[in-house]
């Protein structure tokens, strides 16, 4: 039995899907910003901090990297209220995504930090530079340049990872698409459109991150 594709019922709700795109972008951008901040602090703490800092950071990284994102999402949304911290679904999604990205960003950035020659750090110390200036200018900038391709690839994965936050009723593209499936019963057509939208989003994000890298690091084509 053949079934004709009917995109009319889907296109009627195109505004809803575009609204989902905007919400997905918001979740991705906010979690990337916060996750990168977490990763930067943890990478510096693990590489240069005392043991009482580096060991908890190592435990955090191993815990997050060895548990599913969905479980982390459920923990933030359903378990934190037991400790008095109640977040709405969107805030919980941003927090869980940020913590998840932070663990991966920590290891990526730490690899960059470890690649910086120790001689440069010692030279900066001998010149009397303050520790925060050494970390900022001598360590982080070269480290970020070295690992930027890997970090930007992780950002792309973060964008696609937002698709599961509908599990806690957070509003994003996939959740809105699933609601439309229940309204229109045109699952095949809706998921085709959804795949096309994600493809466009990922390609656009890849171009943005590549352009940002060239702008920040003056890469040559």
55 part of a folded domain? yes
Residue 56 pLDDT exceeds 50? yes
84: left (phi over 0), alpha (psi -120 to 50) or beta: left
2 part of a folded domain? no
Number of domains comprising the chain: 1
Tell me the C-alpha distance between 130 and 143, whole Å.
18
Q: Would you state the pLDDT for residue 62?
A: 96
Give percent of the chain with pLDDT exceeding 90.
Answer: 61
1 part of a folded domain? no
Tell me the C-alpha distance between 97 and 158, whole Å.
8
Residue 47 pLDDT exceeds 90? no
Q: Would you state the pLDDT for residue 3?
A: 62
| Segment 120-131 mean pLDDT | 78
DSSP letter at 136 equals I
pLDDT tens-digit map of 200-212: 999 999 999 999 9
Q: How far is CA 146 from the centre of its chain?
A: 19
**Residue whose entry in the numeric block shows the structure tokens 């994000």:** 205
Residue 221 pLDDT exceeds 60? no
Residue 78 pLDDT exceeds 90? yes
Alpha helices in 49-172 (DSSP H): 51-65, 69-74, 89-115, 118-126, 131-133, 141-161
CATH number of 135's domain? 1.10.3720.10
Residues sharing a CB contact under 8 Å with residue 70, sequence separation 6 or more, in sequence order: 164, 167
pTM of the model: 0.90
Pick from 83-87, 129-133, 137-141, 176-180: least confident? 129-133
67 part of a folded domain? yes
Tell me the C-alpha distance between 55 and 145, whole Å.
26
Q: How confident is the model at residue 35 (pLDDT cuts 50, 70, 90)?
A: very high
CB atoms within 10 A of CB 59: 10
Q: What is the mean pLDDT of the chain?
A: 89
Q: How confident is the model at residue 191 (pLDDT cuts 50, 70, 90)?
A: very high
Residue 13 pLDDT exceeds 90? no
Supply the DSSP string of 33-62, one letter for each residue.
HHHHHHHHHHHHHHHHS-HHHHHHHHHHHH
Q: Is-contact 3 182, C-beta < 8 A?
A: no
pLDDT tens-digit map of 153-170: 999 999 999 999 999 988
pLDDT tens-digit map of 140-149: 888 888 899 9
Tell me the C-alpha distance between 113 and 175, whole Å.
38
3 part of a folded domain? no
182 part of a folded domain? yes
* Domain of residue 36, residue span: 8-217
Q: How confident is the model at residue 138 (pLDDT cuts 50, 70, 90)?
A: confident
């Amino acid at each position: 039995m053949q079934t004709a594709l009917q995109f009319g019922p889907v296109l009627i709700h195109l505004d809803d899907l575009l609204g989902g795109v905007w919400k997905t972008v918001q979740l991705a951008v906010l979690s990337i910003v916060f996750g990168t901040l977490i990763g930067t602090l943890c990478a510096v703490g693990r590489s240069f901090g005392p043991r009482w800092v580096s060991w908890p950071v190592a435990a955090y990284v191993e815990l997050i990297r060895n548990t599913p994102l969905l479980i982390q999402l459920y923990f933030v949304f359903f378990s934190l209220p037991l400790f008095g911290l109640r977040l709405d679904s969107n805030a919980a999604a941003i927090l869980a995504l940020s913590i998840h990205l932070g663990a991966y960003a920590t290891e990526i950035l730490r690899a960059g930090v470890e690649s910086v020659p120790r001689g440069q750090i010692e030279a900066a110390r001998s010149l009397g530079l303050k520790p925060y200036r050494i970390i900022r200018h001598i360590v982080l900038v070269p480290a970020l340049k070295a690992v930027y391709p890997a970090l930007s690839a992780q950002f792309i994965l973060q964008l696609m990872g937002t698709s599961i936050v509908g599990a806690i009723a957070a509003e994003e593209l996939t959740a809105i698409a699933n609601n439309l499936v229940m309204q229109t019963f045109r699952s095949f057509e809706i998921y085709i459109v959804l795949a096309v939208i994600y493809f466009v989003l990922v390609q656009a994000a890849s171009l943005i991150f590549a352009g940002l890298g060239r702008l920040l690091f003056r890469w040559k084509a």
